[in-house]
Protein backbone atom coordinates (compact mmCIF):
# COMPACT_ATOMS: atom_id res chain seq x y z
CA UNK A 1 0.00 0.00 0.00
CA UNK A 2 1.34 3.43 -0.97
CA UNK A 3 1.36 5.52 2.21
CA UNK A 4 3.12 8.56 0.66
CA UNK A 5 0.01 10.73 0.46
CA UNK A 6 -0.91 9.87 4.04
CA UNK A 7 2.55 10.57 5.50
CA UNK A 8 3.49 13.71 3.58
CA UNK A 9 1.84 17.02 2.89
CA UNK A 10 2.61 20.14 0.92
CA UNK A 11 4.11 23.10 2.82
CA UNK A 12 2.30 26.13 4.14
CA UNK A 13 3.05 29.49 2.54
CA UNK A 14 2.98 32.73 4.52
CA UNK A 15 1.98 35.76 2.46
CA UNK A 16 3.13 39.01 4.05
CA UNK A 17 1.58 42.27 2.84
CA UNK A 18 3.19 45.48 4.04
CA UNK A 19 0.43 48.07 3.93
CA UNK A 20 0.78 51.84 4.04
CA UNK A 21 -2.06 54.05 2.72
CA UNK A 22 -2.95 51.90 -0.29
CA UNK A 23 -6.59 51.34 0.62
CA UNK A 24 -7.86 51.88 -2.91
CA UNK A 25 -5.95 48.79 -4.11
CA UNK A 26 -5.82 46.41 -1.13
CA UNK A 27 -9.17 44.67 -1.71
CA UNK A 28 -8.22 43.75 -5.28
CA UNK A 29 -4.88 42.44 -4.04
CA UNK A 30 -6.54 40.31 -1.35
CA UNK A 31 -9.12 39.00 -3.82
CA UNK A 32 -6.34 37.83 -6.15
CA UNK A 33 -4.66 35.99 -3.27
CA UNK A 34 -7.86 34.29 -2.12
CA UNK A 35 -8.38 33.12 -5.72
CA UNK A 36 -5.15 31.11 -5.78
CA UNK A 37 -5.25 27.51 -7.01
CA UNK A 38 -2.95 26.53 -4.12
CA UNK A 39 -4.85 26.81 -0.86
CA UNK A 40 -2.41 26.05 1.94
CA UNK A 41 -1.49 29.62 2.87
CA UNK A 42 -1.98 32.34 5.45
CA UNK A 43 -2.11 36.10 4.89
CA UNK A 44 -0.39 38.45 7.33
CA UNK A 45 -1.06 42.15 6.74
CA UNK A 46 1.19 44.60 8.55
CA UNK A 47 -0.51 47.99 8.72
CA UNK A 48 2.52 50.28 8.95
CA UNK A 49 0.72 53.10 10.76
CA UNK A 50 -1.56 54.10 7.87
CA UNK A 51 -3.91 57.04 8.29
CA UNK A 52 -7.40 56.58 9.74
CA UNK A 53 -9.16 56.35 6.38
CA UNK A 54 -6.90 53.59 5.03
CA UNK A 55 -6.83 51.71 8.33
CA UNK A 56 -10.63 51.63 8.28
CA UNK A 57 -10.64 50.19 4.74
CA UNK A 58 -8.14 47.55 5.81
CA UNK A 59 -10.04 46.53 8.93
CA UNK A 60 -13.21 45.97 6.88
CA UNK A 61 -11.53 42.94 5.31
CA UNK A 62 -12.64 39.76 7.07
CA UNK A 63 -11.40 36.25 6.27
CA UNK A 64 -10.21 33.34 8.39
CA UNK A 65 -6.94 33.18 6.44
CA UNK A 66 -6.12 36.84 7.18
CA UNK A 67 -4.35 38.21 10.23
CA UNK A 68 -4.07 42.03 10.46
CA UNK A 69 -1.43 43.59 12.69
CA UNK A 70 -1.73 47.33 13.26
CA UNK A 71 1.54 49.06 14.18
CA UNK A 72 1.60 52.14 16.41
CA UNK A 73 4.58 53.63 14.62
CA UNK A 74 5.73 53.66 11.00
CA UNK A 75 8.78 51.41 10.69
CA UNK A 76 9.10 51.20 6.91
CA UNK A 77 8.84 48.40 4.38
CA UNK A 78 11.72 46.23 5.59
CA UNK A 79 10.78 46.58 9.25
CA UNK A 80 7.14 45.77 8.48
CA UNK A 81 8.17 42.70 6.49
CA UNK A 82 10.33 41.41 9.37
CA UNK A 83 7.44 42.03 11.76
CA UNK A 84 5.25 39.89 9.52
CA UNK A 85 7.97 37.24 9.39
CA UNK A 86 7.87 37.02 13.20
CA UNK A 87 4.17 36.11 12.98
CA UNK A 88 4.51 33.65 10.08
CA UNK A 89 3.98 29.88 10.25
CA UNK A 90 4.92 28.90 6.70
CA UNK A 91 8.05 27.18 5.43
CA UNK A 92 7.94 29.45 2.38
CA UNK A 93 7.40 33.21 2.45
CA UNK A 94 6.20 35.74 -0.10
CA UNK A 95 5.98 39.49 0.33
CA UNK A 96 3.28 41.15 -1.75
CA UNK A 97 2.95 44.86 -2.37
CA UNK A 98 -0.59 45.93 -1.49
CA UNK A 99 -1.22 47.41 -4.96
CA UNK A 100 -0.23 44.36 -7.04
CA UNK A 101 -2.38 41.52 -8.40
CA UNK A 102 -1.49 37.80 -8.31
CA UNK A 103 -2.49 35.54 -11.18
CA UNK A 104 -4.24 32.29 -10.08
CA UNK A 105 -1.20 29.97 -10.40
CA UNK A 106 1.26 32.32 -8.67
CA UNK A 107 1.74 30.29 -5.47
CA UNK A 108 1.56 26.96 -7.27
CA UNK A 109 4.19 27.83 -9.86
CA UNK A 110 6.70 29.39 -7.46
CA UNK A 111 6.34 26.58 -4.94
CA UNK A 112 6.73 23.96 -7.67
CA UNK A 113 9.95 25.63 -8.80
CA UNK A 114 11.30 25.73 -5.23
CA UNK A 115 10.52 22.08 -4.53
CA UNK A 116 12.23 20.91 -7.72
CA UNK A 117 15.30 23.14 -7.44
CA UNK A 118 17.73 24.44 -4.84
CA UNK A 119 17.66 28.17 -4.23
CA UNK A 120 16.90 30.61 -1.45
CA UNK A 121 14.84 32.80 -3.76
CA UNK A 122 12.65 32.24 -6.83
CA UNK A 123 11.47 35.26 -8.84
CA UNK A 124 8.83 35.09 -11.58
CA UNK A 125 8.12 37.28 -14.59
CA UNK A 126 5.34 39.86 -14.46
CA UNK A 127 2.92 41.87 -16.50
CA UNK A 128 1.69 45.40 -15.84
CA UNK A 129 -1.53 47.16 -14.99
CA UNK A 130 -2.28 50.84 -14.55
CA UNK A 131 -3.98 52.55 -11.61
CA UNK A 132 -7.40 51.56 -13.01
CA UNK A 133 -6.47 47.87 -13.17
CA UNK A 134 -6.26 47.84 -16.96
CA UNK A 135 -3.62 45.45 -18.32
CA UNK A 136 -1.01 47.43 -20.26
CA UNK A 137 1.52 44.63 -20.85
CA UNK A 138 2.09 40.92 -20.25
CA UNK A 139 5.72 41.25 -21.29
CA UNK A 140 7.30 43.59 -18.73
CA UNK A 141 10.25 45.17 -20.49
CA UNK A 142 12.52 44.70 -17.45
CA UNK A 143 11.78 40.97 -17.06
CA UNK A 144 15.14 39.17 -16.57
CA UNK A 145 13.96 36.25 -18.75
CA UNK A 146 12.39 37.16 -22.05
CA UNK A 147 11.54 33.78 -23.61
CA UNK A 148 9.78 30.50 -22.81
CA UNK A 149 12.15 27.97 -24.32
CA UNK A 150 12.59 25.15 -21.83
CA UNK A 151 9.86 22.68 -20.97
CA UNK A 152 9.88 21.88 -17.28
CA UNK A 153 10.33 18.19 -16.49
CA UNK A 154 7.62 17.43 -13.97
CA UNK A 155 7.89 14.88 -11.18
CA UNK A 156 5.19 13.18 -9.10
CA UNK A 157 4.53 16.46 -7.36
CA UNK A 158 2.95 17.71 -10.60
CA UNK A 159 -0.18 15.75 -9.67
CA UNK A 160 -0.31 17.38 -6.25
CA UNK A 161 0.23 20.90 -7.58
CA UNK A 162 -1.44 20.46 -10.98
CA UNK A 163 1.19 22.62 -12.65
CA UNK A 164 0.86 22.63 -16.42
CA UNK A 165 2.96 25.28 -18.05
CA UNK A 166 6.13 25.53 -20.11
CA UNK A 167 8.57 28.06 -18.73
CA UNK A 168 12.27 28.72 -18.64
CA UNK A 169 14.26 28.36 -15.43
CA UNK A 170 17.48 30.31 -15.00
CA UNK A 171 19.76 29.63 -12.02
CA UNK A 172 21.77 32.65 -10.88
CA UNK A 173 25.05 32.55 -8.96
CA UNK A 174 26.97 35.27 -7.17
CA UNK A 175 29.64 34.98 -9.85
CA UNK A 176 27.35 36.22 -12.61
CA UNK A 177 25.27 38.42 -10.29
CA UNK A 178 27.46 39.79 -7.47
CA UNK A 179 26.14 40.97 -4.14
CA UNK A 180 23.86 44.05 -4.17
CA UNK A 181 23.45 44.00 -7.96
CA UNK A 182 19.94 43.60 -9.36
CA UNK A 183 18.69 40.81 -11.62
CA UNK A 184 15.11 40.02 -10.61
CA UNK A 185 11.61 41.48 -10.82
CA UNK A 186 10.08 43.65 -8.05
CA UNK A 187 9.09 42.55 -4.53
CA UNK A 188 5.86 40.72 -5.41
CA UNK A 189 7.66 38.42 -7.86
CA UNK A 190 9.43 36.29 -5.28
CA UNK A 191 9.02 33.36 -2.92
CA UNK A 192 11.69 32.75 -0.27
CA UNK A 193 12.78 29.82 1.84
CA UNK A 194 12.10 30.86 5.42
CA UNK A 195 15.34 29.34 6.67
CA UNK A 196 17.31 31.65 4.38
CA UNK A 197 15.62 34.77 5.79
CA UNK A 198 17.36 34.26 9.16
CA UNK A 199 20.34 36.23 7.81
CA UNK A 200 18.25 39.43 7.97
CA UNK A 201 18.15 39.39 11.77
CA UNK A 202 21.74 40.67 11.70
CA UNK A 203 21.09 43.60 9.35
CA UNK A 204 22.24 46.82 11.10
CA UNK A 205 19.96 49.56 9.69
CA UNK A 206 16.45 48.27 9.04
CA UNK A 207 14.93 51.73 9.57
CA UNK A 208 16.68 53.09 6.45
CA UNK A 209 14.60 50.94 4.10
CA UNK A 210 11.27 52.73 4.17
CA UNK A 211 10.98 51.60 0.55
CA UNK A 212 13.10 49.28 -1.58
CA UNK A 213 13.13 46.42 0.95
CA UNK A 214 13.45 43.91 -1.90
CA UNK A 215 16.95 45.30 -2.52
CA UNK A 216 18.05 44.02 0.90
CA UNK A 217 16.01 40.81 0.98
CA UNK A 218 16.92 39.62 -2.53
CA UNK A 219 20.60 40.57 -2.20
CA UNK A 220 21.17 38.66 1.03
CA UNK A 221 19.17 35.59 0.05
CA UNK A 222 20.99 35.40 -3.27
CA UNK A 223 24.29 35.71 -1.38
CA UNK A 224 23.67 32.82 0.99
CA UNK A 225 21.57 30.46 -1.12
CA UNK A 226 21.49 31.49 -4.77
CA UNK A 227 18.40 32.45 -6.75
CA UNK A 228 16.29 31.43 -9.73
CA UNK A 229 14.40 33.45 -12.32
CA UNK A 230 11.49 31.87 -14.18
CA UNK A 231 9.80 33.19 -17.31
CA UNK A 232 6.25 32.34 -16.19
CA UNK A 233 4.17 35.51 -15.77
CA UNK A 234 2.58 35.10 -12.32
CA UNK A 235 1.63 38.59 -11.16
CA UNK A 236 0.73 42.05 -12.41
CA UNK A 237 2.77 45.03 -11.27
CA UNK A 238 0.66 48.15 -10.83
CA UNK A 239 1.96 51.49 -12.10
CA UNK A 240 0.68 54.64 -10.41
CA UNK A 241 2.08 57.97 -9.28
CA UNK A 242 3.31 56.75 -5.90
CA UNK A 243 5.46 53.81 -7.11
CA UNK A 244 9.00 53.76 -5.81
CA UNK A 245 10.35 53.51 -9.37
CA UNK A 246 7.79 55.78 -11.03
CA UNK A 247 8.86 54.24 -14.35
CA UNK A 248 6.59 54.59 -17.36
CA UNK A 249 6.71 51.79 -19.92
CA UNK A 250 4.06 53.17 -22.26
CA UNK A 251 6.74 54.32 -24.68
CA UNK A 252 7.67 50.83 -25.90
CA UNK A 253 10.82 48.79 -25.33
CA UNK A 254 12.72 50.96 -22.83
CA UNK A 255 12.35 51.88 -19.18
CA UNK A 256 12.19 55.60 -18.54
CA UNK A 257 13.06 56.09 -14.88
CA UNK A 258 13.03 59.53 -13.34
CA UNK A 259 16.23 61.15 -12.15
CA UNK A 260 15.36 60.96 -8.46
CA UNK A 261 15.09 57.21 -8.68
CA UNK A 262 18.47 56.95 -10.42
CA UNK A 263 19.98 58.88 -7.52
CA UNK A 264 18.20 56.58 -5.10
CA UNK A 265 19.60 53.47 -6.83
CA UNK A 266 23.12 54.81 -6.55
CA UNK A 267 22.71 55.57 -2.85
CA UNK A 268 21.12 52.14 -2.24
CA UNK A 269 24.05 50.32 -3.87
CA UNK A 270 26.55 52.13 -1.67
CA UNK A 271 24.45 51.78 1.47
CA UNK A 272 23.80 48.06 1.31
CA UNK A 273 27.43 47.14 0.62
CA UNK A 274 28.74 49.27 3.50
CA UNK A 275 26.05 47.93 5.84
CA UNK A 276 26.82 44.35 4.82
CA UNK A 277 30.51 44.74 5.62
CA UNK A 278 29.67 46.23 9.04
CA UNK A 279 27.21 43.42 9.65
CA UNK A 280 29.72 40.68 8.80
CA UNK A 281 32.44 42.23 10.96
CA UNK A 282 30.22 42.95 13.98
CA UNK A 283 28.47 39.55 13.94
CA UNK A 284 31.50 37.49 12.90
CA UNK A 285 31.16 34.78 15.58
CA UNK A 286 27.42 34.33 15.09
CA UNK A 287 27.69 34.16 11.29
CA UNK A 288 30.61 31.71 11.37
CA UNK A 289 28.67 29.54 13.80
CA UNK A 290 25.65 29.58 11.48
CA UNK A 291 27.34 29.22 8.07
CA UNK A 292 30.87 27.94 9.01
CA UNK A 293 34.13 29.82 8.53
CA UNK A 294 34.73 28.89 4.88
CA UNK A 295 31.30 30.08 3.74
CA UNK A 296 31.58 33.19 5.92
CA UNK A 297 34.85 34.18 4.20
CA UNK A 298 33.43 33.42 0.74
CA UNK A 299 30.41 35.63 1.39
CA UNK A 300 32.51 38.45 2.83
CA UNK A 301 34.85 38.27 -0.17
CA UNK A 302 31.88 38.47 -2.51
CA UNK A 303 30.49 41.51 -0.69
CA UNK A 304 33.78 43.40 -0.81
CA UNK A 305 35.39 42.49 -4.12
CA UNK A 306 32.84 41.22 -6.63
CA UNK A 307 31.60 43.77 -9.13
CA UNK A 308 29.48 43.61 -12.25
CA UNK A 309 30.99 45.60 -15.12
CA UNK A 310 27.63 46.05 -16.87
CA UNK A 311 26.13 47.57 -13.75
CA UNK A 312 29.18 49.79 -13.31
CA UNK A 313 28.71 51.03 -16.87
CA UNK A 314 25.08 51.87 -16.08
CA UNK A 315 26.14 53.80 -12.98
CA UNK A 316 28.71 55.77 -15.00
CA UNK A 317 25.99 56.61 -17.53
CA UNK A 318 23.73 57.70 -14.67
CA UNK A 319 26.42 60.01 -13.29
CA UNK A 320 27.00 61.41 -16.79
CA UNK A 321 23.27 62.00 -17.11
CA UNK A 322 23.34 64.08 -13.91
CA UNK A 323 26.12 66.26 -15.28
CA UNK A 324 24.22 67.16 -18.42
CA UNK A 325 22.55 70.54 -18.18
CA UNK A 326 19.36 70.33 -20.24
Q: What is the pLDDT of residue 266?
A: 77
Domain boundaries along the sequence of the chain = 4-323
3-state secondary structure the chain: CCCHHHHCCCCCEEEEEEECCCHHHHHHHHHHHHCCCCCCEEEEEEECCCCHHHHHHHHCCCCCCEEEEECCCCCHHHHHHHHHHHCCCCCEEEEEECCCEECCCHHHHHHHHHHCCCCCEEEEEEEEECCCCCEEECCCCCCCCCCCCCCCCCCCHHHHHCCCCCCCEEEECCCCCCCCCCCCCCHHHEEEEHHHHHHHHHCCCHHHCCCCHHHHHHHHHHHHHCEEEEEEEEEEEECCCCCCCCCECCCCCCCECCHHHHHHHHHHHHHHHHHHHHHHHHCHHHHHHHHCHHHHHHHHHHHHHCCCHHHHHHHHHHHHHHHCCC
Q: For residue range 38-96, what is the model confidence (pLDDT) as tens digits?
A: 999 999 999 999 999 999 999 999 999 999 999 999 999 999 999 999 999 999 999 99
Q: What is the pLDDT of residue 294?
A: 96
Q: What is the pLDDT of residue 138?
A: 81
Q: What is the pLDDT of residue 171?
A: 95
| Whole-prediction pTM | 0.87
Q: For residue range 261-286, what is the model confidence (pLDDT) as tens digits?
A: 667 777 888 899 999 999 999 999 99
Q: Which CATH number among 3.40.50.2000, 3.20.20.150, 3.90.550.10, 1.10.20.10 corresponds to the domain 4-323?
A: 3.90.550.10
Q: What is the pLDDT of residue 209?
A: 95
**What parts of the chain have a pLDDT lower than 50?**
1, 147-151, 154
Amino acid sequence: MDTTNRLTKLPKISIIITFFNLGEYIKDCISSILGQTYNNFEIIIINDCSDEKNTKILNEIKNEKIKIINLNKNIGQLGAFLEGLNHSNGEFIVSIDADDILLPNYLKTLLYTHLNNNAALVSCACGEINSKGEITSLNYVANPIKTRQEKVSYSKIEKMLNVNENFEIKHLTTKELPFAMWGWNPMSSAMYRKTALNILKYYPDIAFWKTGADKVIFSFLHLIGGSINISAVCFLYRHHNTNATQASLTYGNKRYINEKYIERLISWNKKIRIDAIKMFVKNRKELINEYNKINYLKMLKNIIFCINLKICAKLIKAFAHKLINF
